[in-house]
Amino acid sequence: MKLEVKCDVENCKYWAHGDQCVADSIYIIGLHGEKAANVGETACKTFEHRE
């Protein structure tokens, strides 16, 4: 099953036209422990700066 992942971080090496994430896998963490109360308490650990 193909999953569409949207991302607007254009300086990530996995960002593609149309705000598509083209990474093979995505790793998201909670910033304040294991549970997040909202999206602002999460971060994408898959991010790599585009050269």
Q: Contact at 8 Å (CB) between 12 and 26?
A: no
Q: pLDDT for 22-51, tens place per residue? A: 999 999 999 988 899 999 999 999 999 998
Pick the closest to residue 50 from 7, 14, 8, 6 (CA basis): 14
Residues facing 43 on adjacent strands: 29
DSSP assignment of the chain equals -----B---TTBTTEETTTEE--SS--EEETTSS--SSGGGEEETT--B--
Residue ranges covered by each domain of the chain: 1-51
Kindly tell me if the per-residue pLDDT of 1 is higher than 80: no
What confidence tier does 2 reach under pLDDT thresholds 50, 70, 90?
A: confident
Q: Is 19 left (phi over 0), alpha (psi -120 to 50) or beta?
A: left
pTM: 0.81
